Structure 1
Amino acid sequence: MRLTDRKITIIGAGIGGLAAALAFSQQGAEVTVLEQAEAITEVGAGIQISPNGVAVLRALGLADDLAWTAPRARAVVLRSHRRGREVLRLDLDQYAPGRNFYFVHRADLINLLADAARRSGVKVRLLQKVDRISCGARPVVHLANGAQCGGDLVIGADGLHSKARAALNGVAKPRFTGQVAWRATVANLHNHPAEAQVFMGPGRHLATYPLRDSSLMNIVAVQERKTWADEGWHQQDDPENLRAAFQGFGGAAAELLGQVDQVALWGLFRHPVAEVWHKGALAIMGDAAHPTLPFMAQGANLALEDAWVLVDALRTAKTTEAGLAAYQARRHDRTARVVDAATGNAWKYHLRQPLAWPAHQILRLGGRLAPQRMVQQFDWIYGHDVTGDSAAPTENDPGTGGPVTTLA
């Protein structure tokens, strides 16, 4: 199906929405992105782009820009919480040759995608708050100011509280996971290397890695608790609450926690993968279709995959309906499997005694005897390339690899 001159409206100027806008525009479509914020600003903090996401950015012509923007991960290091003693180190350069993992500030990736989309002719309209969407052969987007818009195709890339998902599936109540997370950035005062460091403690863990020119450190701290915080990144909390929750964490973790002067707190909720991803000429993608917990660092990467597959499925189909059906068929099972893996992953870092000590010994032994196997255990996620339906392209070696997961 020719996409040239087709009018496409995308709701949401996040990573997935902008990647889809760029991919559609590169196929000749006329693309408008609706964003409710007043500007595309520095929202969020660090995310990890793994080889499956890098493959999409490479296909969009942005891999070099990413490499200039973000540090490349060299290792994943698991540590015990009390003194920061190393439990397991996995060298990505050695055991995942040619596979690049990047630590990216979300705002930098958004700016990279937005600039490329605008250069390609995409129109980004700000202050466009969507009230509801009417499905149909030509969907109608009803804005809060009373205006209406639409097109030959409408894509909902509007996140957790998606109006497009609600139009297709109704509203489903998420389940609180019993975990909350703090997110902060601080100055990299001690020259921490380009490694993901995970400090494992009883009922909680803390993950850190550098951003930008390594001048910043990203901190994500997860705690199990019975009470819950609201969803979203924008609920500010007192840094003393974070430090109190992670009292007893030593080494570099304590130093970084001591630097925090601003921190956001949010509750972690489990949302079901949507049953219906499309109807007529309306479709959903990214968190609107398959919200995921951050424990596989795959939210942004799955959104990038969606963007590429959506455009490719429509480009190669005879009709819009056939293309959207192919898109869901190609994405549903994979995203559901990743979401399930993320849901079940956090407990590995939260073990209490007497289980923690033997578990750490097993990790140490595995790191000595079978490090490559430990690196490759999630290759089904990180080695997937939707741009070629094969292992992600490598720069030096065709081998496979994917690290022990860390938090986004």
Structure 2
Amino acid sequence: MLHGAQPPATATSDHQSAVAVIGGGIAGLTLALALRREGIDCTVFERSPEPAEVGAGLQLAPNATRLLHRLGVAEALRAVAVLPRALRMRGWDDDRPLATTALGAACRRGYGAPYYTVNRAQLHRVLWEAVGGGQVRTGHRLMGLTEGPEGVDLNFASGARHRAGVVIGADGVHSVVRAWLAGDAPVFSGSSVYRGLVPAGRLPWAADEPEVRIWPGPGRHLVCYPVSAGREISFTATVPADAAGEESWTAEGDPAELAAAYRGWNPAVTRLIGSADVVRRWPLYDRESLAGWVTSRVALLGDAAHPMLPFLAQGANQAIEDAVTLAVCLGRAAEGGAPEAFRRYQELRLPRTTLIQRGARQSTRFLHLRDQLKPGEPRRTRGTADPHGLAGLRAMGWLYGHDAEAIAAAA
């Protein structure tokens, strides 16, 4: 049992646990698996009545897949994932290759773990089944919390109450736990994204050569890659937006509006967009970095701590790093108990996630050609000096080579 995290026997709440995790998404479920490995019981509270994640694409880099493999889901993950051969930047107007980063076997050799593309809903199902439904309480929407010297009291919309020794907020960019801790609010980024899934048979060029394809262009960009063991092609297309509009992971977008936003782009892009029967559209929100994520008994994790724009494809990866780091810190807590574990977790994670969070914001200058293309200016000559992508792969060592578990254990 984690020292300093036990709920007192005199608690007056309806239920008690040593650790309460708020949010049953990828971050919360990964944390539950990592805590179990450390011998720490937890209860996960999810606001949705049924376990569900939107069926969109997700990139899992070696810094996350090595951790997921150690948590025991390697076989299940491999069954639903795709192993792309490369990440390739292409011209928005002519589809010519611009730059390549090798993935596939070269990435596995270089970093000891694969680079996967997956359907987000299928990854969520893998983690859900690994955790087991008995550990997750669905239909629990957190309304507020009170931290005291002997525990944290949680109040839910249903009227249920819970006393926990410590609470982990893994409840996303609109985190109730973060609102209690920091009192800030998400900020609209000025961009929205359309996401879609297309049967692979409609786009054989994307399925037969599994790659992550990125088309940076004037004021917007589009990414696509195969998921669902190669049965579907996932794409994400950004568009500038003056107002946030409706925020919902399941809100339908207008395919005609999306097609208009990419009119004049190369035929591969326009065919990709035209192949989608349904597209989802939602605004992108961001938050400023916090100076700290923890109190003595409350900590933030994943998007609740450091929401990231998706332009480095690291949001879920960093949440997985967070989860394993926090579990190791809690599992090895000694006399300092949970407060000391939380402090160590924050020291290990905050500098890295702040760097990546800022990098995701800054990458829009490159992806949206703000430095390379001005109105009325002709396209510059382009090409790639590294056609095999090995130099590009080596340049990702700071990101892909990071072993969050080993670093936490050494600390």
- 1:147 matched to 2:166: no
Secondary structure of the structure 1 residue equivalent to 2:42: strand
The verdict on how the C-alpha distance between 1:373 and 1:229 changes in structure 2, with shifts beyond 3 A counting, is farther
Contact 1:134–1:167 (Cα < 8 Å) also in 2: no
- 1:17 matched to 2:28: yes
- 1:56 matched to 2:67: yes
The verdict on how the C-alpha distance between 1:22 and 1:365 changes in structure 2, with shifts beyond 3 A counting, is closer
> 1-side partners of 2:50 and 2:218: how far apart?
40
> 1-side partners of 2:362 and 2:257: how far apart?
26
1:397 corresponds to which residue? none
> 2-side partners of 1:298 and 1:376: how far apart?
17
Report runs of 4+ in structure 1 exceeding 4 Å deviation. 1-6, 353-356
Partner letter of residue 176 of structure 1? F
Q: 1:312-356 deviations in whole A, cap 9, x for unaligned?
A: 111222211101111111111011001011110122122235778
1:97-176 map, 5 Å: 97-98=108-109, 99=111, 100-118=114-132, 123-136=135-148, 137-170=150-183, 172-176=184-188
2:282 corresponds to which residue? 266
Secondary structure of the structure 2 residue equivalent to 1:279: coil
Partner letter of residue 198 of structure 1? I
Partner letter of residue 115 of structure 1? E
Contact 1:237–1:263 (Cα < 8 Å) also in 2: yes
2:42 corresponds to which residue? 31
Contact 1:165–1:274 (Cα < 8 Å) also in 2: no
- 1:303 matched to 2:319: yes
Contact 1:55–1:387 (Cα < 8 Å) also in 2: no
> 2-side partners of 1:347 and 1:228: how far apart?
21
The verdict on how the C-alpha distance between 1:356 and 1:230 changes in structure 2, with shifts beyond 3 A counting, is farther
The verdict on how the C-alpha distance between 1:183 and 1:311 changes in structure 2, with shifts beyond 3 A counting, is same
- 1:316 matched to 2:335: no
Q: Report the RMSD for the aligned CA atoms in angstroms.
A: 2.2
> 2-side partners of 1:44 and 1:217: how far apart?
11
Secondary structure of the structure 1 residue equivalent to 2:399: helix
Partner letter of residue 144 of structure 1? A
> 1-side partners of 2:301 and 2:103: how far apart?
30
2:355 corresponds to which residue? 337
Shift of 1:173: 3.0
Partner letter of residue 158 of structure 1? D
Q: TM-score, normalised on structure 1? A: 0.88
2:9 corresponds to which residue? none
Consecutive unaligned residues of structure 1, counting only runs of 5 or more, are 391-408
1:357 corresponds to which residue? 379
Secondary structure of the structure 2 residue equivalent to 1:388: helix
Partner letter of residue 264 of structure 1? R
Contact 1:10–1:156 (Cα < 8 Å) also in 2: yes
Contact 2:197–2:234 (Cα < 8 Å) also in 1: yes
Contact 1:76–1:197 (Cα < 8 Å) also in 2: yes
Contact 1:138–1:280 (Cα < 8 Å) also in 2: no
> 2-side partners of 1:38 and 1:225: how far apart?
32
Shift of 1:249: 1.9
Shift of 1:64: 2.6
1:254 corresponds to which residue? 270
1:327 corresponds to which residue? 345
- 1:181 matched to 2:193: yes
Partner letter of residue 40 of structure 1? P
Partner letter of residue 379 of structure 2? W
1:402 corresponds to which residue? none
Shift of 1:223: 2.0
- 1:198 matched to 2:199: no
Consecutive unaligned residues of structure 2, counting only runs of 5 or more, are 7-16
Partner letter of residue 378 of structure 1? M
> 1-side partners of 2:218 and 2:98: how far apart?
15
> 2-side partners of 1:287 and 1:28: how far apart?
25
> 2-side partners of 1:176 and 1:355: how far apart?
30
Moved more, 320-329 or 18-27: 18-27
1:378 corresponds to which residue? 396
The verdict on how the C-alpha distance between 1:387 and 1:304 changes in structure 2, with shifts beyond 3 A counting, is same
**Percent identity between the two aligned chains:** 32
1:403 corresponds to which residue? none
Contact 1:11–1:33 (Cα < 8 Å) also in 2: yes
Q: 1:183-241 deviations in whole A, cap 9, x for unaligned?
A: 11111123222200112221111110011121111010012343433444233211111
Q: TM-score, normalised on structure 2? A: 0.87
> 1-side partners of 2:284 and 2:2: how far apart?
41
